[in-house]
Amino acid sequence: MSKVGKNTDLLVALFPSPNRGRLSVGGHPPFGLFFQARLWVIVLSECQRTGHAQAFYFPREKVASHAEVRPLQEMTLHSFTLCFWVHNLHQGKQTVFLYSTPENENELVVTVGLDVCVWVGGSFVQFDLHRKSEEWVHHCITWASHSGDVNLWVNGAVGTAKNIQKGYVIQKGGTAILGKYKNSMLNVFGNGFSGWISQVNLWSHVLDYNEIQQLTLCKHEDKKGNIIAWGQTPFLLYGGVVVDVDTSCS
């Protein structure tokens, strides 16, 4: 275990794995049992010293595998854009992003599968995809409080806007998670994601058409969110999540 970065005192613990060039976090003996009660902070920009972008792999067999996000700013949002790449291993409903507060477990939630569902302030809208994919797929979700409009972009194509929670403000003081839905009262997990997640970025404003197109085409990799910035935001990994090579833009 060693310190990482010039301006941070966060610790990174990466254990080599023989499989596909991955870095196994916390699951390598003798640390496996200890890891269940302990979190390791991962700063992805440090991993990029290998010359490869990084993705998180969520094993299907690991019920509690998820990554807790430490946003760069408070999550008081009058609007947002959330973008990410996913390569999921099955088509059932799976939670990619969950932000819950003490007052509202579904403050901001995004699930993928045969449809994409977006929750804001406990209310949700559903986008039917009518498509199956076993490859990497790029998603961007935008929402603006002043209009309530929600837009879903899939691989650069945008559908018909839906409307939700006009005038609402997403509240600060919550917990953000990748890869699982967590019921705080029962402390149980559900709708687990299995597969790869990468390039998760969250902005406190709505990106325009050209910006989203550039992200979809992997031509704007230096554009990072101001709330969550892939490669800069620390993550806390649980339950055998693996740091893998990101092939989303290959």
> Strand pairing of 23-24 and 15-16?
antiparallel
The pLDDT of residue 129 is 83
Which residues, including other chains, have CB under 8 Å from residue 60's CB and lie 6 or more apart?
Answer: 89, 90, 194
Of 46-50, 188-192, 244-248, where does mean pLDDT reach its minimum? 46-50
pLDDT tens digits, 103-156: 999 999 999 988 999 999 999 999 998 666 678 999 999 999 999 999 999 999
10 burial class (0-12, 13-18, 19+ CB within 10 angstroms)? Answer: middle
pLDDT tens digits, 34-54: 333 344 455 555 454 555 679
The pLDDT of residue 34 is 33
**12 confidence band (pLDDT: 50, 70, 90):** very low
Please answer whether residues 120 and 137 qualify as being in contact, where contact means their C-beta atoms are separated by less than 8 angstroms.
no
Q: Is the pLDDT of residue 214 over 50?
A: yes
**239 confidence band (pLDDT: 50, 70, 90):** confident
What Rg value do the Cα atoms of the chain yield, rounded? 17
Identity at 138, one-letter amino acid code = H
Query: Which residue spans within 23-133 are E strands per DSSP?
Result: 23-24, 40-42, 54-58, 66-69, 79-88, 94-100, 108-112, 115-120, 123-128
The pLDDT of residue 52 is 63
3-class secondary-structure state, position 34? helix
List the one residue out of 128, 126, 125, 156 whose CA is nearest residue 140: 156
Instruction: Round the average pLDDT of the chain to a whole number and report it.
Output: 80
3-class secondary-structure state, position 200? strand
